[in-house]
Chains A and B, each alone.
Chain A
Amino acid sequence: MAAVPDSAGVDAGRDPAGVDAGRDPAGVVAGRADAQGYAADWARAVRRLGFVPLSVAETERLLLAHTIRLAQAVRAEPFTAHPAEEIGRALVEAHLTEPQALEWTLHALGATFGRRVLCDGERPADLAERIAAVQGGLAAGFARALRDRTFSQQERIARSAWQARDEVEQALRESEERFRAVFTGAAIGIGIAGVDGRIIDVNQAFADMLGYSIEELREINVAALFHADDAAGMWELYQELIEGKHDAARVEKRYHRKDGTVVWTDLAVSLIRHDGRPRFTVAMIEDITERYELQQRLRFQALHDPLTGLPNRTLFFETLGRVLDTADAGQRVGVCFLDLDGFKAINDSLGHDLGDRLLVMIGRRLAACVADHGHLVARMGGDEFVILVDGGDDTDDPVAVAEAALAAVAAPVHVGEHQLAVSASVGIVQCPASETTASELMKAADTTLYWAKAAGRGRWAVYDPERGARDIARSALVAGLPAALERGEFVLHYQPIVSLLEGTMLAVEALVRWEHPELGLIGPDRFIGLAEETGLIVRLGEWVLRQACEDAERWWREFPDARLVVSVNLAARQADEPAIVDTVADALQTSGLPAELLQLELTESAVMGSAGEPLRSLHRLAALGVRLAVDDFGTGYSNLAYLRRLPIHCLKLAGPFVEGIRADGTDVAADHRDERIVDALVRLAHALELWVTAEAVETGVQAERLRALRCDTGQGRYFGAPASADVITARLRGGALA
């Protein structure tokens, strides 16, 4: 900015009145120089006509200095217009460049300067000429300065623009270099393609992953990298991407390398838009082949049996579930549940290694024999295999499949040095897919397999729903037994055993009943067998024994003269228990019942099989003073020899013999035969000093005949049905009264 010259010392009028006059051109005092007034008018004009970056006072001060200098120049001898040129330049330097302001300046110089600023005596003779020269000089200086300034400003702004552009370009170049470095050096593959699918550029990693050179890939269209075996919808997804419906997509995609091998990639594609329109796609791929293969391997491992390589239980149930979910109406689905017979014995005798090798062989054969039909063979664990027969057509007969499987298994197997003959059992279930579930189907197959095993192994069995229902009811009872014992759902009924000679009640047989909360009172025929199978008979029997002893002790205490014996059944499993003697002794001691008032009934077969420990147990029981009876005598394979060896007190004649002694006499010959058998048995027993009790005595005639045959005691509906302990008590009381 130009300095504002100090006007002090300049030969100019300083009269305050002049200043005032200067503000009002109309009041110019003729003949008096008024530089200040002229400068003030000048300042006001330039401020009005253009932008002046100075305050009012600064502007006036600046222009007053110029006014005075112009006045000096006009008067100077010799005259020169040079100072006017400088003032023209100074005006430009002070930014007083508005054209209209210049116009005012030049006009005022010609019109009023001489008159207002120069005193009368100061005006040179050639004033007009000099003023014209000053105007010319000022204009020339102004124009030259303005041209210079314009040039320099234009130059500077252009330079600035280029510089700014350079900086931006430099930044872009650096940014481009950085991205180029990332692009070329990235470990992941990066590829850029147009929306027409033409590959524009790829980095080395991308090319390496696909086994092509960068140049080769630049010739390829993206479409060529899609394959029919891509996941469903992948091509459509790409189409939607380049149409701008998505901005990014991420998929697992396999590429076929140039050498034909496959590379699995994690592919992320982004859409690059320009002004909103899709322009490019950028694909970034990461080679995940190893991860993918590991995943596949893990998935295979999770779904296959490591020993045989067959599908495992998980895959089987997945497949079965899918078949059931997607089955057409009426489609039947079948399973063959196969289990090797006696595999445990092979394993135990030949070792697990051979056992495993056998399983591998069997698995291979099973897979081969159903492979043509595409059935799934799975190993469910151990030596269990299952074949899923899911075909919709009739040729998929599960029985045929089972027979093929049995045949495959039956062929001799060479394992190491051994030649093994193996058989298997198969449970077959087939039903409409809509009527079953996976778990129901497999439960039925399991049950059926058990039937095949029970029927003698080496065969197949087909599921029978009615038999299955019975099995289910039975197993429901089995499942409920332990809890029933704990909850006290069992009760004892007693059936009198009466002297045939005197008609008095000598004993009662304890018979257990199950007061089932839903099924009501259940007789022993429906659960004793189950309790024996499951082993629960031991606990149940002990409960019966203790309860019977307690009841009998009460009767003995209340009716000591009756000397009522309680007869308790002892199952074979119980008799085999080493602890049975201690249990009986404890029951007697706990209840306080005299040992001779307790009779234990054993079945003929239980006694017959007795040897070793059980036999010793019987002797020790007898030694306690407990009476022992053989139940259902004459129905088993009677080996009379044991009667000699065992400490038996009583024989209970089985019901059929007694039934034969009928009153109606329709089959006299048969009747006669039964009567002779009973007669012989009674004689035999008496010869051995054994008591004889006849069971199932229904009528008075039967009782009469038995008495005639000298049978000691009778038991049956004629003498009283099984009844609660209270009824027995009442009977004892009544008997006592009588």
Chain B
Amino acid sequence: MPDGLPTEIDLTRPSAARVYDYFLGGAHNFEIDRQLAEQIASMTPNLAATMRSGREFLRRAVRVLLDAGIDQFLDIGSGIPTVGNVHEVAQGVNPKARVVYVDIDPVAVAHSRELLAGNELTGVIHADLREPERILAETRQLGLIDFSRPMGILLAGVVHFIPDADGPEAILATLRAAAAPGSFLVVSHSTFEDQPQEMLDAQRLSARTATEITLRSRAQVTGFFGDWTVLEPGVVHMPLWRPDSPSEVDEHPERFGAFGGVARYDQPAG
């Protein structure tokens, strides 16, 4: 049993992955998850929309990466990849695209394995983002991703589960250091900027799932990209990041309470 991972499956506690699934309309969840989801939704009607918004941001970002020629993805914190998952988006465009999913939730991992059984171009790793070296080592072991070529590292709605004490900057730096030039990093992250009080209350409620969420500023989220080149329009509230059409953008994009951004590793000149 790897260190840092749960040594028991406690189905009496809600799981972030399954709550997320419920918000996306899935049925991969239990009563306990739905209760929490309803409770969160009753306090902040925005939250369900926030999760959908995050899913849409991820879809748009993956499409941008695919357009840039990226055909291998490392999706860390993938949860239960049912609705709008990365491999469907990616393989819908490029049937040879490869995706490695990583999650800390053993149920999500077991589910992913079952869902992806038979899909030779996908893999699932049970690991903790706080151990990036292990994630990289196990990813290499899978042999799906060629680290000498550009890849897309996806950290959608997961870094805010890492408290400052666990050194998220160092974790991101480790992941970036493993990527070849031309790689992309996609991050979406909850923020306190421009947020009303109930958002912050809901954030506290989320502590009833496995982990508490750490809200961070735009500058902090931007910092996670290190010296990589942040693509236009920068680190922005998620709906503002390259919407399908201007009419899609919510009148109050900040109400989703999360920033999204994409950066590219440009080989330094010289």
- For residue A98, CB closer than 8 A to chain B, the reply is yes
Q: Looking at B11, B29, B107, B109, which has the most chain A CB atoms within 10 Å of its CB?
A: B107
Contact among B18, B56, B83 for A157, CB-based, below 8 A: B18
A126 to B29, CA, bound (A): 44
Contact A161 B25 (CB under 8 A): no
Known contacts A161-B11, A168-B7; decide if A154 and B84 are in contact (CB<8 Å).
Answer: no
- For residue B111, CB closer than 8 A to chain A, the reply is yes
Contact A160 B114 (CB under 8 A): yes
A interface footprint on B53-66 (CB within 8 Å = 1, 0 otherwise): 00110011001000
Known contacts A157-B27, A164-B9, A172-B1; decide if A1 and B92 are in contact (CB<8 Å).
Answer: yes
- For residue A156, CB closer than 8 A to chain B, the reply is yes
Known contacts A157-B29, A157-B30, A172-B1; decide if A51 and B244 are in contact (CB<8 Å).
Answer: no
Contact B110 A98 (CB under 8 A): no
List B contacts of A156 (CB < 8 A).
28, 111, 114-115
List A contacts of B23 (CB < 8 A).
51
CB proximity to B under 8 Å, residues A51-66: 51, 53-57
List A contacts of B59 (CB < 8 A).
53, 55
- For residue A171, CB closer than 8 A to chain B, the reply is yes
Q: Which residue of chain B is the closest to A163 with respect to CB atoms?
A: B110
List B contacts of A171 (CB < 8 A).
1, 7
Contact among A51, A56, A159, A163 for B83, CB-based, below 8 A: A51
Contact A167 B110 (CB under 8 A): yes
- For residue B248, CB closer than 8 A to chain A, the reply is yes
A51 to B26, CA, bound (A): 10
Known contacts A95-B83, A153-B26, A157-B18; decide if A168 and B1 are in contact (CB<8 Å).
Answer: yes
A97 to B23, CA, bound (A): 12
CB distance from A132 to the nearest CB of B (A): 27
List A contacts of B8 (CB < 8 A).
168, 172
- For residue B24, CB closer than 8 A to chain A, the reply is yes
A168 to B88, CA, bound (A): 29
Q: Which residue of chain A is the closest to B84 with respect to CB atoms?
A: A53
- For residue B255, CB closer than 8 A to chain A, the reply is no
CB proximity to A under 8 Å, residues B40-74: 51-52, 55-56, 59-60, 63
A110 to B8, CA, bound (A): 52
Contact A56 B245 (CB under 8 A): yes
Contact B9 A165 (CB under 8 A): yes
- For residue A150, CB closer than 8 A to chain B, the reply is yes
CB proximity to A under 8 Å, residues B182-238: none
B interface footprint on A459-479 (CB within 8 Å = 1, 0 otherwise): 000000000000000000000
Known contacts A51-B25, A154-B27, A156-B115; decide if A95 and B107 are in contact (CB<8 Å).
Answer: no
Known contacts A95-B83, A97-B25, A160-B114; decide if A51 and B52 are in contact (CB<8 Å).
Answer: yes
Known contacts A51-B25, A53-B59; decide if A160 and B110 are in contact (CB<8 Å).
Answer: yes
List A contacts of B25 (CB < 8 A).
50-51, 95, 97-98
Contact A164 B1 (CB under 8 A): no
Contact A164 B28 (CB under 8 A): no
Known contacts A161-B9, A163-B110, A168-B1; decide if A51 and B55 are in contact (CB<8 Å).
Answer: yes
Contact B111 A157 (CB under 8 A): yes
Contact A1 B88 (CB under 8 A): yes
- For residue A175, CB closer than 8 A to chain B, the reply is yes
Contact among B6, B52, B80, B114 for A168, CB-based, below 8 A: B6
A161 to B9, CA, bound (A): 8
List A contacts of B94 (CB < 8 A).
none
Known contacts A1-B88, A156-B115, A157-B29; decide if A53 and B110 are in contact (CB<8 Å).
Answer: no
A171 to B1, CA, bound (A): 6
- For residue A149, CB closer than 8 A to chain B, the reply is yes
CB distance from B260 to the nearest CB of A (A): 16
Contact A153 B27 (CB under 8 A): yes
Contact among A51, A150, A164, A168 for B27, CB-based, below 8 A: A150
CB distance from A300 to the nearest CB of B (A): 50
Contact A57 B244 (CB under 8 A): yes
Q: Which residue of chain B is the closest to A161 with respect to CB atoms?
A: B107
Contact A153 B110 (CB under 8 A): no
List B contacts of A157 (CB < 8 A).
18, 27-30, 80, 107, 111
Q: Which residue of chain A is the closest to B58 with respect to CB atoms?
A: A53
CB distance from B108 to the nearest CB of A (A): 8
List B contacts of A175 (CB < 8 A).
1
A53 to B28, CA, bound (A): 16
List B contacts of A161 (CB < 8 A).
9, 11, 30, 107, 110
CB distance from A49 to the nearest CB of B (A): 11
A265 to B22, CA, bound (A): 60
A153 to B51, CA, bound (A): 20
List B contacts of A51 (CB < 8 A).
23-25, 51-52, 55-56, 83-84
List A contacts of B88 (CB < 8 A).
1, 53
List A contacts of B51 (CB < 8 A).
51
A432 to B28, CA, bound (A): 92
CB distance from B232 to the nearest CB of A (A): 19
A163 to B105, CA, bound (A): 12
List B contacts of A54 (CB < 8 A).
84
List B contacts of A50 (CB < 8 A).
25, 52
List A contacts of B56 (CB < 8 A).
51
Known contacts A51-B25, A53-B83, A95-B84; decide if A164 and B106 are in contact (CB<8 Å).
Answer: yes
A167 to B113, CA, bound (A): 13
CB distance from B251 to the nearest CB of A (A): 12
A57 to B80, CA, bound (A): 26
CB proximity to A under 8 Å, residues B70-106: 80, 82-84, 88-89, 92, 106
Contact among A97, A149, A160 for B107, CB-based, below 8 A: A160
Contact A153 B248 (CB under 8 A): no
Contact A149 B9 (CB under 8 A): no
List A contacts of B114 (CB < 8 A).
156, 159-160, 163
CB distance from A22 to the nearest CB of B (A): 14
A156 to B9, CA, bound (A): 16
List B contacts of A1 (CB < 8 A).
88, 92
B interface footprint on A91-106 (CB within 8 Å = 1, 0 otherwise): 0000101100000000
List A contacts of B108 (CB < 8 A).
160
CB distance from B180 to the nearest CB of A (A): 29
CB proximity to B under 8 Å, residues A130-175: 149-150, 153-154, 156-157, 159-161, 163-165, 167-168, 171-172, 175
Q: Which 10 pairs from chain A and chain B are nearest by CB? A: A53-B84, A160-B111, A153-B27, A164-B106, A51-B52, A165-B9, A160-B110, A157-B28, A164-B110, A56-B244
B interface residues with partner A (beta carbon < 8 Å): 1, 6-9, 11, 18, 23-30, 51-52, 55-56, 59-60, 63, 80, 82-84, 88-89, 92, 106-111, 114-115, 244-245, 248
Knowing that A1-B88, A51-B51, A160-B107 touch, tell me 10 more A-B residue pairs with CB under 8 angstroms.
Answer: A51-B55, A53-B24, A55-B59, A157-B18, A159-B110, A160-B110, A164-B9, A165-B9, A167-B106, A172-B7
9 contacts between A and B (CB under 8 A): A53-B88, A55-B63, A95-B24, A153-B28, A157-B107, A160-B110, A160-B111, A164-B106, A164-B107
A interface residues with partner B (beta carbon < 8 Å): 1, 47, 50-51, 53-57, 95, 97-98, 149-150, 153-154, 156-157, 159-161, 163-165, 167-168, 171-172, 175
